[in-house]
Amino acid sequence: MSDFRLPVRVYIEDTDAGGIVYYVNYLKYMERARSEWLRAQGFTQRELFEGGIQLVVHRLECRYAKPARLDDGLEVGVVILSHGRCRLTFGQVVTRRGEPLCEARVDIACIDADSLKPTPWPPALAAVLSAPRQDVQPQV
């Protein structure tokens, strides 16, 4: 499913008292992976914000299949499912040794940082979104 994959380690602060990843932390892993996907495309959240653009989650649908535990090595996948003039839908999956633990569909809106209203993608990012898909990896 993934065009982009980010390795993640489960630390103690990610877990509940039983050593199982607290559900909201999967969303944090996915947010990191989307930010690193953006960075791999040559953009950062900070640069977009400084240019008057903010990327916000508009809708999220998530399914939890199996728990991750303390010290697990995970991989967070990111793939673009669709995009429009000012929206983008990502498919994301968190896996452990290839086994899906959590899957999500995340709709992102491109908004003007001042008015908080939808705005078209900046031209350089629109060009990336329109280009043929290819696998990219994080630049760590």
Token pair 């990843």: residue: 21
DSSP 6-36: EEEE--GGGB-TTSBBPHHHHHHHHHHHHHH
CA distance 39 to 51: 16
CA distance 52 to 122: 10
Catalytic residue among 3, 14, 16, 135: 16
Is 14 among the residues known to form the active site? no
Q: Active-site positions? A: 16
